[in-house]
Copies of this chain bind each other. A is one copy, B any other.
Amino acid sequence: MSAQESNTVATTEQQQEVAELATQVEDIVLGPDGNPLSKKALKKLEKEREKEQKKLEREAREAAERAAREASEVDCAKENYGKAPINMSQVQSGTKWTEIKDLSTELAGQTVHVQARVQGSRPTGNKMCFLVLREGSATAQGLLVVDNETISKQMVKFANGVSSESLVSLVAKVVIPSEPVKSCTVGDVELHVSRLFVISEVSVTLPFTIDSASRSDLERELDPTLNRVLLFTRLNNRVVDLRTTANNAIFKLQAAVSQLFREYLTNEKFTEIHTPKIINAASEGGANVFRVDYFKRNAYLAQSPQLFKQMCIAADFGKVYEIAPVFRAENSQTHRHLTEYVGLDLECAFREHYHEVMDMIGDMFIYIFNNLEKRWAVELATVRKQYPSEPIQVGDKPLKLEFKDAVALLRKHGEKIGDFDDFNTDLEKKLGGIVREEYGTDFYMVDKFPLSIRPFYTMPDPENPQYSNSYDFFLRGEEIMSGAQRIHDAGMLKERISACGVPIDDLAEYIKAFEYGCPPHAGGGVGLERVVMFYLGLTDIRYSSLFPRDPTRLEP
C-alpha cells in the first residue's frame, strides 16, 4: 500500500505518523543558530565535506589493503566458519540440537549444537566478539575469543560482521560466566562458540531493530532518545515486527482463546462445523457485503455463518460452533473494525428459555479468562511487559443487566440517550466505567436490546414487542459478542423479514429450513481479535490481527 492511498482514509494516529515522517526529510541547511546558512558559510561547509570525503576514501583503501593482507595470512580456523550452502536437505546427520530456552547450568561443560538468529554483535578489540543469540523468545550470549587454534582473528572478524537477524548454526561449549548475563533471558550460562556458519543471511537493511520494536512506552519515557516504531511502520514490515517476544506472545494468546473456546464447547457436546463463505445473495440484508465474480455470476462473501449455523440447528445438529473468517465491507477506519476478522460463532437448541444458552456463553467466557491467567501466565506477562495492563476483574458469574437498566445507569450519570437508541462506542465505554465503579467487574452482559436495532432473525420479547430476546457481552467497556434467541417459526420469520424490508427471495433456502420444523435456539458471534485486544488492553485491533485488513490495507 502506498502512503498516498493510506492517507485518503487515514486514522488520526496514521496522520500523526505521516507528519512525523515528513519532518525527518526536511532539506534546508540550517546553522547552529537554527537560521539558514549564508553563501560564505555554505562554501566553507562544502570544503569541509570534500575533505571528509577524501578521508573516507583513504580509510576504505587502507581497509581493503589490510583485508587482502589478512586473506593471504594462514587462517587456522578457516574450516570453522563461513556461509553455509543453502539447505536443500543435503544431510541428515542425526545431530542433537539444543534450544536456547533449554540452556542451563546443568549443561555446563558440554558441547551443544544451536541454530539461532544473531540479534546483535559487539566486538571488544579485534580479538573478541560478543553475540546476542535469539531463538523464539529466548536469548543467550555467545562469545568468540582468538586462540589461534580453533578461533582465528579472521573468524572473530567474520562473527562481528554477521548482519543483524541473520540465522546461524553453531557449535559451542556451555560455560558459567563470572557474572550473570543481565541482557539475555538465559543469564546463568553463555556459549563459547567454536564453529559458526550463517545459514540464512540478511542482506537488506532492516526497517527497524527488534530491540526498538520491543520497547514499552515507559522505557521511551525514561529515555526519550529511543526510537518509537509506529503501528503503521510495524504493519508495513509485519514479518520483522512479529519477531518481538510481545507479538509472539499475543498470537500464542490468540490461539489460546480459540483453544479454550473449543475445549469448553466440546465438553458441552457441541459439534464443530464449516459453512460456506461464498454465498448466492447478500442474504443478511446489509449493504456491507463484498461481491465476488463466480463463473460469470455474482456471488458474495458471507458476513457471518448466521443463516447456515441456524440451518444446522434445523438439521438436528443440536449444538454447533464454527471458527472461521468473517467478511465486512464496511468503509470505516476505526481502532476496532477490520474488513476481515475471525468469528467464533455458536448456535444451540434449547428447551424452554434462551437464558439457558446465554448463561452458558457467560460461563464459557469466565472459563476462557480464568484459564488464560492460569495456563498462559508466561505469555500474558510477556505482553504486559511491553503493553502494561491489569488482569480483568471478574467474578464467578458474569453480571447481567437489562438494556433499560443500562440506559437508566447512563442517564443517572448525565448521559442523554433515548429508550430505544443503540449504544455508540463512547456510550459503551462510559457504561463500562460506570459498571466497573458500581459493580467492580470488567465483564458483563446486557440483555433485552430494542427489537428495532437488531437483525430480522431476532426473537421479539414476549412481554414487550419493542424489546427482544437479544444480548451483547462487554469486556472493559467494549462489545465482544452479540447474540440472541432466533426466530424458529417460519411464519413469524417471514413477517419480520417483511417488516425489516429485507428482500425475501434471497432467503428462500433459509426460510425452507424452518418450514421443515426447527427447535427453539439461541447463539452468538464473538470477534476473536476483539477479545484478545480488550483482554490485553491493546489500543488498536490491528495489534491482535496477524495480517490485518481494513479499507486501505490489503498488504502484506
**Residue ranges of A at the interface with B (Cβ–Cβ < 8 Å):** 86-93, 95, 97, 115, 117, 136, 165-167, 199-204, 206, 237-243, 247-248, 251-252, 254-255, 258-259, 262, 266, 271-280, 290-295, 297, 299, 301, 308, 311-312, 314-318, 323-325, 327, 329, 331, 339-340, 342, 351-355, 459-462, 469, 485, 488-490, 492, 509-510, 512-520, 528, 546-547, 549, 551-552, 554-556
Nearest CB of B to A362, in Å: 16
Q: Do the beta carbons of A351 and B95 come within 8 Å of each other?
A: yes
Of B89, B165, B555, the contact of A517 (CB 8 Å cutoff): B165
List chain B residues, Cβ under 8 A from A469: 88-89
List chain B residues, Cβ under 8 A from A203: 490, 515
Known: A278-B339, A315-B238. A509 touches B88 (CB 8 A): no
List chain B residues, Cβ under 8 A from A88: 459-462, 469, 485
Q: Do the beta carbons of A280 and B93 come within 8 Å of each other?
A: no
List chain B residues, Cβ under 8 A from A272: 255, 258-259
Q: Do the beta carbons of A554 and B280 come within 8 Å of each other?
A: yes
Of B92, B117, B515, B519, the contact of A202 (CB 8 Å cutoff): B515
Q: Do the beta carbons of B340 and A89 come within 8 Å of each other?
A: no
List chain B residues, Cβ under 8 A from A255: 271-273
List chain B residues, Cβ under 8 A from A93: 352
Q: Do the beta carbons of A89 and B352 come within 8 Å of each other?
A: yes
Q: Do the beta carbons of B460 and A274 come within 8 Å of each other?
A: no
List chain B residues, Cβ under 8 A from A274: 254, 325, 342, 528, 546
List chain B residues, Cβ under 8 A from A240: 315, 516
Nearest CB of B to A11, in Å: 16
A295 to B293, CA, bound (A): 15
List chain B residues, Cβ under 8 A from A239: 311, 314-315, 512-513, 516
A492 to B316, CA, bound (A): 53
List chain B residues, Cβ under 8 A from A528: 274
Q: Which residue of B lies closest to A513 (CB)?
A: B239
By Cβ-Cβ distance, the 9 closest A-B pairs, closest first, are: A509-B556, A242-B315, A88-B462, A280-B554, A255-B272, A92-B353, A87-B520, A89-B353, A239-B513
